[in-house]
Amino acid sequence: QVQLVESGGGLAQPGGSLKLACTASGITLSNVAIRWVRQAPGREPEGFSCINGGDGQEYYMSFVKGRFTISRDNAKNTVYLQMNSLKSEDTGVYYCAGDPSIRQCQDLGKTYTIRGQGTQVTVSS
- Which strands make up the sheet holding 68-73, listed edge to edge? 3-7, 18-25, 78-83, 68-73
| Full DSSP string of 53-83 | SSS--EEE-TTTBTTEEEEEETTTTEEEEEE
DSSP 121: E
Q: What is the mean pLDDT of the chain?
A: 97
58-68 pLDDT per residue, tens: 999 999 999 99
Is the pLDDT at 33 greater than 90? The verdict is yes
Band (pLDDT 50/70/90 cuts) for residue 110 is: confident
Band (pLDDT 50/70/90 cuts) for residue 56 is: very high
Band (pLDDT 50/70/90 cuts) for residue 100 is: very high
